Structure 1
Amino acid sequence: MSSQAPHSTLLIPGPIEFDDAVLQSMSHYAESHVGPAFVKVFGESLTLLRKLFQTTNPASQPLIIAGSGTLGWDIVSSNLIEKGQDALVLHTGYFGDSFASCLETYGAKATQLKAPIGDRPSLSEIEQALKQKSYKVITITHVDTSTGVLSDIKAVAELVRRVSPETLVVVDGVCSVGCEEIAFDEWDLDVVLTASQKAIGCPPGLSILMLSERAINRFKSRQSPPASYYASLNNWVPIMQNYEALKPSYFATPPTQLVHALHTTLTQITGNVAERFAVHTKVSDRVKAAVAELGLTQLAVKPENQAHAMTAIRLPEGITPPDVLPGLTKRGVIFAAGLHKEIASKYIRFGHMGVSVTDPARNDIDKAIAALKESITEAKKAKGL
């Protein structure tokens, strides 16, 4: 049983429920961020990230920086592409628009390749786009939490290396790292950015990235200075290299308690990464089967497009999120409303990742499925449907 205070189970696409040991790590006493004990924890956390991302290349560089997942966009946009250069953004929902906006903020020219809601751009469409102009980066949202769409990172990366090998492959893995397979070396990726509060299973507040040697060399060959101070790789890469070598270093003060929590969860989840991915897939299949049994559909209709971290559930005609979400809350479960602005009133989002999925002592998923069934039935009756 959890030692946490009683609370409704949080099953949104992040933040997620936390393991007791992770939260207890947050109560660590105050310590110096350059003291040997903390430097060891930070250095080990960076090394554990290599295991999670499946990279053994010493030239790749993990980063742990105070900030949200959105900071990862700024790091890419202000370091790896310059003003006036072209970026191709694969759009599978809200976060494609947002990444494009971030790139444009720093002066890049972002071209979005958009798919219908619930779908993803085809490989043939991507190939055609890559042949039209020279893109410095291509960005892909691995799991777009506004639609529940899963992108095929491996296939896209293979295509880019064949058609436009100099284009950096940038993966927004905020809602995928820790529950969807990412083989950084094998798939020849350049950047994967994520955050602490989703499938990694840590409280919010850490921006986490993995950079390839190719990405770092691209930064070093810039013709103009980085467009950000806090997000500059000039400032962060040496710090991370020193920490991983267990040498004290300073640019900006890290959130020491959060890093302890991250170290705890990374130690837990990297014990058997393949098994962790398999458990998320199994639970996702179960959730999606339960949704189908209720006569409901998903935004992502094609099975190959469906994320394993969450499910975006279309509501019955005449039912909106405010008709269903209070019923779920009343039953001790919190889902999220729709996020995609074009159809926000037509669906809800069920996040199923991290400890709610992997801890056999918890009944979060059973509870959520039962609550969903009861809340949908209740909403239909209230509407006379």
Structure 2
Amino acid sequence: MQTQKARKLLMIPGPIEFEPAVLAALAEPTPSHVAPDFIEVFGRALDNLRTVFQAPDGQPFVMAGSGTLAMEAAVANLLEPGDRVLQINTGYFSDRMAAICERSGALVTHVPAPAVGDAPGLAEVERALQQDRFKLMTITHVDTSTAVLTDVAALAKLARSAGALSVVDGVCSVAGEALPMADWDVDVALTASQKALGAPPGLALVMARPRALEAFRRRTRPVASYYADWSNWLPVMQAYQARKPAYFGTPAVNLVLALDVSLAQIIAEGMEARVARHARLSEAIKAALTALGLSQVPLRPAVAAHTLSAPYFPAGVDGAALLGKINAAGVILAGGLHPALRTRYFRIGHMGAVNAADVLATVGAIEQGLHGVGYRFDAGSGLAASQRVMQGQAGHPPFA
């Protein structure tokens, strides 16, 4: 049996560390999916998702599945063969979204970043929109492979002006980055439970606003994916919101119980405060990496995500050995994912329940790992840089 002391801190870009109350919900006796108490919980969770997505006019969908299912459900219900999609490409998961769109018969045009670690310029996107008529613009808010953040507000505005629906992959951003759907006029946003939403893996979540639902209702062919078809899920979601029983596929009931707890915690924190907290934790991590002489995949601060960081391994350092040393120091980090530089960098997740103590423990483990592989640096420089951010010496008030 593993003791609490033996447990390592999980600081990857999902799954993340979870609050004890969220984990406790998983241990509740499993209820019937049509039991009155569960109907109330599920209905409340759906209502609270509107608050978290900041989409009072949105229709939430919660399905058992991964973030990839959420991606498919978001676009498969809107696309028919021959439709055109403009993909704003910032990495591995942008490529995945394009592949999903192509499976629905869409014709995909990519607007690539000028380099790995950057985001396409708005002028380039505008030029692409002038070349054709697109039904969707798909945007990866934070690409988990590159830690690149896109300007969703500006991109959604461009999409609207060109008559395209905006679909935002928020798997690594929702509840960690600013994404006020209604204010930014985003048509669809999607995420998964195991990232900044702070619930265990297994739930795919989509929020569709009125224009997207209208486009879905106007389609002329059945949705190619039976499981992801909103025709099957919409009556179920609406029934639970009305506190009535319904069935299409059995929901992951204990995960919904956990989601309900997590959403209540997020709303109690407040969306503005939560986004600000993620920004500060990110700044503390990135300040430490800079102090330690580690460059990062995002090429400039404006495109650097606040939910994860992606530092390069130091020159001459064996990346696998470094991650092993960090693991031995008590913190689990993730290796690279983008195929162009997979072995050259690693990834640190800092979202959801992660707090200042977790960040300092992570920086300390990175310092210990760097020392263990023979990298030369000023001992404690990373921790000191993080502490300066935490103590309000970098232009912010100190953490409470």
TM-score range, shorter chain: over 0.9
Q: Which residue of structure 2 lines up, in the alignment, with residue 214 of structure 1? A: 211
Q: Which residue of structure 1 lines up, in the alignment, with residue 142 of structure 2? A: 143
- Normalised TM-score (structure 2): 0.91
The C-alpha deviation readout for 1:180-200, integer Å capped at 9, x for no partner, is 011111111111010000011
Residue 299 of structure 1, aligned match among 292, 297, 321: 297
Q: Does structure 1 residue 99 correspond to structure 2 residue 97?
A: yes
> Which amino acid in structure 1 is aligned with residue 129 of structure 2?
L
Q: Which residue of structure 2 lines up, in the alignment, with residue 264 of structure 1? A: 261
Contact 2:92 2:338 in 1 (8 A): yes
1:126 Cα offset (Å): 0.4
The C-alpha deviation readout for 1:161-206, integer Å capped at 9, x for no partner, is 22x1x21100000000111011111111111010000011100000
Name segments (4+ residues, structure 1) moved above 3 Å.
Answer: 3-6
Change (3 A) 1:381 1:289: closer
Unaligned runs of at least 5 residues, structure 1: none
Matches of 1:135 and 1:282, distance apart in 2: 37
1:285 Cα offset (Å): 0.6
Q: Does structure 1 residue 21 correspond to structure 2 residue 21?
A: yes
The C-alpha deviation readout for 1:108-133, integer Å capped at 9, x for no partner, is 11111111100000000100011100
Q: Which residue of structure 1 lines up, in the alignment, with residue 189 of structure 2? A: 192
The C-alpha deviation readout for 1:56-91, integer Å capped at 9, x for no partner, is 22xx20111100010012113321011111111111
1:374 Cα offset (Å): 2.0
Matches of 2:146 and 2:213, distance apart in 1: 32
Structure 2 SS opposite 1:139: strand
Q: Which residue of structure 2 lines up, in the alignment, with residue 227 of structure 1? A: 224
Contact 1:319 1:346 in 2 (8 A): no
> Which amino acid in structure 2 is aligned with residue 129 of structure 1?
A
The C-alpha deviation readout for 1:130-157, integer Å capped at 9, x for no partner, is 1100111111111111111001111111
1:313 Cα offset (Å): 0.2
Residue 369 of structure 2, aligned match among 336, 360, 375: 375
Matches of 2:203 and 2:242, distance apart in 1: 21
> Which amino acid in structure 2 is aligned with residue 30 of structure 1?
T
Matches of 2:368 and 2:360, distance apart in 1: 13
1:107 Cα offset (Å): 1.2
Superposed, 1:76-95 pairs within 5 Å as 76-95=74-93
Contact 1:150 1:306 in 2 (8 A): yes
Superposed, 1:61-140 pairs within 5 Å as 61-115=59-113, 116-140=115-139
Q: Does structure 1 residue 204 correspond to structure 2 residue 201?
A: yes
Q: Which residue of structure 1 lines up, in the alignment, with residue 332 of structure 2? A: 334
Matches of 2:156 and 2:99, distance apart in 1: 23
Matches of 2:288 and 2:333, distance apart in 1: 16
1:160 Cα offset (Å): 1.8
Residue 325 of structure 1, aligned match among 323, 326, 336: 323
Q: Which residue of structure 1 lines up, in the alignment, with residue 39 of structure 2? A: 39
Residue 365 of structure 1, aligned match among 359, 366, 389: 359
Structure 2 SS opposite 1:128: helix
Contact 1:287 1:369 in 2 (8 A): yes
Contact 2:317 2:375 in 1 (8 A): no
1:318 Cα offset (Å): 2.0
Matches of 1:311 and 1:327, distance apart in 2: 19
> Which amino acid in structure 2 is aligned with residue 121 of structure 1?
P
Q: Which residue of structure 2 lines up, in the alignment, with residue 176 of structure 1? A: 173
Matches of 2:322 and 2:74, distance apart in 1: 38
Matches of 2:165 and 2:5, distance apart in 1: 45
Matches of 2:4 and 2:22, distance apart in 1: 11
Structure 2 SS opposite 1:355: coil
The C-alpha deviation readout for 1:251-297, integer Å capped at 9, x for no partner, is 10001100000000000011211111111101111111100000111
Unaligned runs of at least 5 residues, structure 2: 377-400
Q: Which residue of structure 2 lines up, in the alignment, with residue 154 of structure 1? A: 153
Change (3 A) 1:320 1:151: farther
1:6 Cα offset (Å): 4.2
Structure 1 SS opposite 2:86: strand
Contact 2:73 2:206 in 1 (8 A): no
Matches of 2:238 and 2:128, distance apart in 1: 37
Contact 1:178 1:277 in 2 (8 A): yes
Matches of 1:156 and 1:172, distance apart in 2: 13
Deviates further, 363-372 or 193-202:
363-372
Q: Calculate the aligned-residue CA RMSD, in Å.
A: 1.4
What's the % identity of the aligned pairs?
Answer: 44
Matches of 2:91 and 2:81, distance apart in 1: 25
- Normalised TM-score (structure 1): 0.94
Matches of 1:233 and 1:295, distance apart in 2: 49
Matches of 2:216 and 2:5, distance apart in 1: 46
> Which amino acid in structure 1 is aligned with residue 310 of structure 2?
A
Structure 1 SS opposite 2:238: helix
Matches of 1:106 and 1:55, distance apart in 2: 27
Matches of 2:23 and 2:148, distance apart in 1: 30
The C-alpha deviation readout for 1:300-324, integer Å capped at 9, x for no partner, is 0211100000000011122242021
Superposed, 1:234-273 pairs within 5 Å as 234-271=231-268, 272-273=270-271
Count residues with an aligned counterpart. 372
